[in-house]
Amino acid sequence: MSESRPSPSRVSFAAVTPNNLGTVRKLNSVLFPIKYSEKFYNDITQPDVEDFCQLIYYNDVPVGTMCCRVEVKDGQAKLYLMTLAVLAPYRSRGIGSQSLKHLIDTAAAHAKPKIDAIYLHVQVSNGDAKRFYQRHGFKEVGLYENYYKKITPHDAWILQCDIEHTATVTSEGK
């Protein structure tokens, strides 16, 4: 029996809030080899990142998380993708791809600030993750030596996807 990709209606997203933060903490404890700080959890519930810090649901069951922060440097805004992961039993169903597409579309539509790119770090031993992001338009833009302090290998690839903005036309023709 072949597995088919879920219809988009089976995958949904909800902003991370203080009310669902316990679910995010539990998912992160299973999904990642490190423990995140209280500052991380406080930062991902702030209103300015609610579009970019999301719980990922499959058939109304929380199965993953996606958390970003906005960084502005020299007048250019970038999203730093801190976490994106889906529980193992739900992988290979297109959920990660739909989540990343949702993030890219949200970034492209974001006006204040206008997001120019999304970037992230991938541990050099994680070739599957690197290939996943490359399939979605990310390119390797550098290597960060000794990025990871508590896990080995310590080095990380820096991957980035530039955001293409579509021109918006108002109905008033202004």
Percentage of the chain surpassing pLDDT 90? Answer: 80
Residues whose CB falls within 8 Å of the CB of residue 8, separated by 6 or more in sequence, listed in order = 98
Q: Does the pTM of the predicted model rise above 0.85?
A: yes
Q: Per-residue pLDDT averaged across 57-67, rounded? A: 97
Interval 38-58: pLDDT, tens: 999 999 999 999 999 999 999
Q: Per-residue pLDDT averaged across 95-107, rounded? A: 96
pLDDT confidence bin for 171, thresholds 50/70/90: very low
pLDDT for the residue 170: 44
pLDDT for the residue 174: 39
Helix axes 95-109, 127-135, angle to 10 degrees: 50
pLDDT confidence bin for 159, thresholds 50/70/90: very high
Residues catalogued as catalytic: 80, 121
Pick the residue with more confidence: 29 or 33?
A: 29
Residues whose CB falls within 8 Å of the CB of residue 132, separated by 6 or more in sequence, listed in order = 96, 97
How many angstroms separate the CA atoms of 13 and 1, rounded?
Answer: 28
What is the b/e burial string over 118-135, where b = at least 16 CB atoms within 10 angstroms of the residue's CB? bbbbbbbeeeebbebbee
Q: Which of 6-20, 88-102, 137-151, 152-166 has the lowest mean pLDDT?
A: 6-20
Q: Per-residue pLDDT averaged across 85-114, rounded? A: 94
Cis status of the peptide bond prior to 153, with omega within 30 of 0: yes
